Amino acid sequence: MRGCLRLARTAATRSRQPLLSTRAPALLASHALPAAAAAPLLRRRCSSAALPDGPPQPAPTRQNLFEVARELPKYGVGSKVFRSGWTRNGYDPNEHHWQITRVELWTKGDEEQFQRGKAWGVLTWKGVTEAGERRVRTPLKKEWVHLRDAQAGRANSAA
């Protein structure tokens, strides 16, 4: 959105003409669009109301399962984790999560940070907990969240 607004400002200040320039008929002919269909597109301006106020907010840190487990006691064994994509799709983390039962971690290259490994756990889906443990799928996706951290974040935002 910002790029669109910046482009509109520079075009208007350089030529001192409206955004629909004299080159519009040539552009329409080169793209083979009917003039009636393309005219509203050329006249459309970007809204400054859509721009956020204040400085840009930092993006939330995204972590894979092993980066989350590294920060938990006993490397996450016994803790509940879920993927943030599940909440975007409307699944409640209290009814859709993994409870980690064991973790194998190893380093990546010369780094001393555990970013790779294997994890096993018990899946709870739609409130039903599976009987046995199984390997956690897609642990390297950068969208894993500890359940207690997510609940604390919701409590802080509600207050």
pTM: 0.57
Task: Measure the CA–CA gap between 63 and 46, rounded to whole angstroms.
Answer: 35
Phi/psi at 79 (5° precision):
-90, 160
Quote the CA–CA distance of 84 and 91 in Å, as a whole number: 10
DSSP assignment of 27-49 equals HHHHHT--HHHHHHHHH----GG
* Per-residue pLDDT tens digits for 23-68: 555 554 555 555 555 555 555 555 555 556 666 666 567 889 988 9
Contact yes or no for 143/67 (Cβ under 8 A): no
Interatomic CA distance for residues 84 and 64, integer angstroms: 11
> For the segment 114-150, what is each residue's pLDDT rounded down to a tens digit?
678 899 999 999 999 999 999 999 999 999 999 886 6
Q: Tokens for 79?
A: 């803790």
Beta strands in 13-143 (DSSP E): 80-83, 97-107, 114-125, 128-129, 134-135
